Amino acid sequence: MGKNRLEAFSDGVIAIIITIMVLELKVPHGADFKVLLPLWPVFMSYVLSFIYVGIYWNNHHHMLHVVQQISGGVLWANLHLLFWLSLTPFVTAWMGENHFQTAPVAAYGFVLLMCAIAYTILARALTAHHRENKALADAIGRDTKGWISIALYVTGIALSLWYPWIGFALYICVAIIWLVPDTRIEKRVA
Amino acid sequence: MGKNRLEAFSDGVIAIIITIMVLELKVPHGADFKVLLPLWPVFMSYVLSFIYVGIYWNNHHHMLHVVQQISGGVLWANLHLLFWLSLTPFVTAWMGENHFQTAPVAAYGFVLLMCAIAYTILARALTAHHRENKALADAIGRDTKGWISIALYVTGIALSLWYPWIGFALYICVAIIWLVPDTRIEKRVA
Amino acid sequence: MGKNRLEAFSDGVIAIIITIMVLELKVPHGADFKVLLPLWPVFMSYVLSFIYVGIYWNNHHHMLHVVQQISGGVLWANLHLLFWLSLTPFVTAWMGENHFQTAPVAAYGFVLLMCAIAYTILARALTAHHRENKALADAIGRDTKGWISIALYVTGIALSLWYPWIGFALYICVAIIWLVPDTRIEKRVA
Amino acid sequence: MGKNRLEAFSDGVIAIIITIMVLELKVPHGADFKVLLPLWPVFMSYVLSFIYVGIYWNNHHHMLHVVQQISGGVLWANLHLLFWLSLTPFVTAWMGENHFQTAPVAAYGFVLLMCAIAYTILARALTAHHRENKALADAIGRDTKGWISIALYVTGIALSLWYPWIGFALYICVAIIWLVPDTRIEKRVA
């Protein structure tokens, strides 16, 4: 099976996820600048989620760039990742509307954690199907960033039950770690 | 006519269908974990529909993979399938919000049934246009899975009028049957 | 300029238009079949609009199939068509929610009329840019169907001010005329 | 990295942005033409934003047409542009619902300004990656239109605090300036 439609479908779903989140920025009543102020937690959540979904799109792009063929297992591992990403708008809105309280911040971290796990499963499914593709296998094999992220998410979820802002800060840290694109694969290709 | 735009358009519509369903997961009021509990029927409906739409995308992908040219009839058979798929978010939300009661579960099954029939019509339209394409014709000819699904849907709709949970369980069975990708076509290609 | 991105962007916009219309089918309160009954005008509007948008996508597909290069004018003629198509969900919902009363049926016809005019402008822009492309120029030159449609829309809008159902019936007639794909171009290509 | 997925993803996001704005045109209660009248400010906002997003799509199309390879920096510069574009529906709705009052018109201008700055950053990121691509570098180097736009936005934002209609008129002027496609690049290619 070729990868083109998988990429096109994933691009479509990710494009919709990243865009419908803005619908949670409800248009305020009133025409003063000060009616925008209460929107800042929703806006901050939106910014972080936009960056996260952007990171997933970037890394998805990089990872599929080095493969040519995909199996049925990869199709489902990819849908599994899209499923958890599709829950991002829900937890983003819940966290923003409740001003970063305990439970919503933990739930947000949980969805991020599941996305990270789903991404790891997709990477494994791709390597299983491309054992001969050294560029992919080697690059994903040393998945230090991935494991650090998962550790930070788990810590963030646990801490957010007492100090939600520390949890939120840890999620920002993970985003910063990933904002640097996945140069492992780029270097291998070069 | 080439198939590229048909695939791109179908990918777009299916990507939107699979993603807007999550908008029915309304952000709850309150910041406790317990406000998430009443969402479980909507969430379960969402999970099942996500899997169903994923199955249709996968099979659509497989079926169009083995053809090159499409006719006007195929374009309309495809739009007919997309029409019934587009009703999935509606019945998903109705079933979830009413906690799997009789009528919504039957309506959900009816839309699944119509999708299955529309998929069969699309398969027939493709084979009519590709009589020489033995790979496609033979593969679709032994459409055992398709007929079992239709039988299970009809049984599920009928039973759901008395025992909606049995209907729902049957719809899950059909999903499990199809989760295995359509290896008939993969084998033929190999 | 190549036509690929124009097609991809148009596919995306048309896919979203055809899909978000279903969001107007509001999930009813109550779990009986009889709560579905009041939805029939919205559903009928949805079906007609789905067919119309499908017709535009099909014809757009056919028309762009025979050209290779596009100009800046074509880009804007295409955006102009997408603009009027994007108003379809609005008039569809207005017509459905008001049970096919006078003003909404006329407004629906007006948007259809503007789509038809925009499509004609796009066809002219394409032929202006492809004077040497006889297949395209000849086919579009004998635009009988297009002129009949515009005449039927104008009649439908006028009549709908007194007998909205006759207006609605005329819009259905136009859809039936176009359901037959634009064989003019197909024949030329053959 | 190839540019195809960047284009496909951007097309998807821009297609969704341009289409979901129409959802702010809320279906009015009542079936008279006169219930449409109060919608005119929202409709005018929608028309202007549709044109703006169309301009960005056109220029994005033109600019990426002359490059072949993209870097990680370009991916993020592109996401940054999409972020500001994604705020367009929010400010469009706020401006329309408040009948072009002071603060919403200034906020609308601010988002347009940030889009223009983000577009400039994307152009710089592309030229940094394509120093040898004279066609791109020269064309973007004389970015007169871009600087005039930014100056008009800043003036419009400032004036809109006292005379919002003048601010709005200036935003329309910028749109008119850009409605002429970016012939700089087209000429270079020729």
pLDDT tens for each residue of B21-69: 998 899 999 989 999 999 999 999 999 999 999 999 988 888 888 787 7
Report residue A64's pLDDT band, with 50, 70 and 90 as the boundaries: confident
Would the CB atoms of B181 and A16 count as touching at under 8 Å?
A: no
pLDDT of residue B141: 59
Q: How many Å apart are CA A58 and CA A20, to the nearest integer?
A: 19
Would the CB atoms of A1 and B32 count as touching at under 8 Å?
A: no
Report residue D153's pLDDT band, with 50, 70 and 90 as the boundaries: very high
More confident call, B156 vs A66? B156
Nearest CA-CA partner of C51 in C183, C176, C184: C176
pLDDT of residue B187: 62
Would the CB atoms of A86 and B19 count as touching at under 8 Å?
A: yes
Phi-psi region at C30: left, alpha or beta (left = phi > 0; alpha = psi -120 to 50): left
Q: How many Å apart are CA A51 and CA A45, to the nearest integer?
A: 10
> What's chain B's Rg over C-alpha atoms?
18
Nearest CA-CA partner of C11 in C67, C43, C40, C53: C53
Per-residue pLDDT averaged across D160-164, rounded?
93
Of D15, D28, D183, the CB nearest to C16: D15
**Per-residue H/E/C for chain B:** CECHHHHHHHHHHHHHHHHHHHHHCCCCCCCCHHHHHHHHHHHHHHHHHHHHHHHHHHHHHHHHHCCCECCHHHHHHHHHHHHHHHCHHHHHHHHHHCCCCHHHHHHHHHHHHHHHHHHHHHHHHHHHHCCCCHHHHHHHHCCHHHHHHHHHHHHHHHHHCCCHHHHHHHHHHHHHHHHCCCHHHHHHHC
Given a contact cutoff of 8 angstroms between Cβ atoms, the answer to whether B53 and B85 are in contact is: yes
pLDDT at position B189 over 60: no
> What's chain A's Rg over C-alpha atoms?
18
ipTM of the prediction: 0.89
Q: How many Å apart are CA A37 and CA A183, to the nearest integer?
A: 39
Number of domains in chain D: 1
pLDDT of residue B1: 64
Q: How many Å apart are CA A80 and CA A118, to the nearest integer?
A: 6
Of C1, C9, C107, the CB nearest to D15: C9
Q: What is the pTM of this model?
A: 0.91
DSSP summary character for residue C132: T
Chain A: nearest CA to B4, how far in angstroms? 10
Rounded to a whole number, what is the largest CA-CA distance in chain D?
Answer: 61
More confident call, A72 vs B135? A72
Chain C: nearest CA to D134, how far in angstroms? 18
Of D16, D65, D181, the CB nearest to C16: D16
Nearest CA-CA partner of A80 in A131, A129, A115: A115
pLDDT at position C185 over 60: no
Residues of D in contact with C42 (CB under 8 A): none
Query: Domain range spanning residue D185?
Result: 4-189
pLDDT of residue A189: 57
B101 touches chain C (CB under 8 A): yes
Find the helix or strand (DSSP H, E) in which D100 lies: none
pLDDT digits (tens, 9 = 90+) for A101-119: 999 999 999 999 999 999 9
Closest-approach residue (CA) in chain A for B63 = A1
What part of A 17-46 touches B (C-beta under 8 Å)?
A: 17, 20, 23-24
pLDDT at position C190 over 70: no
Q: How many Å apart are CA C175 and CA C167, to the nearest integer?
A: 13
Residue D71 CB partners (closer than 8 Å, separation 6+): D1, D125, D129
D63 touches chain C (CB under 8 A): no
pLDDT of residue A185: 56
pLDDT digits (tens, 9 = 90+) for A124-170: 888 876 666 666 666 665 677 888 899 999 999 999 999 999 999 99
Average pLDDT, chain A: 87
Of C13, C24, C75, the CB nearest to D58: C75
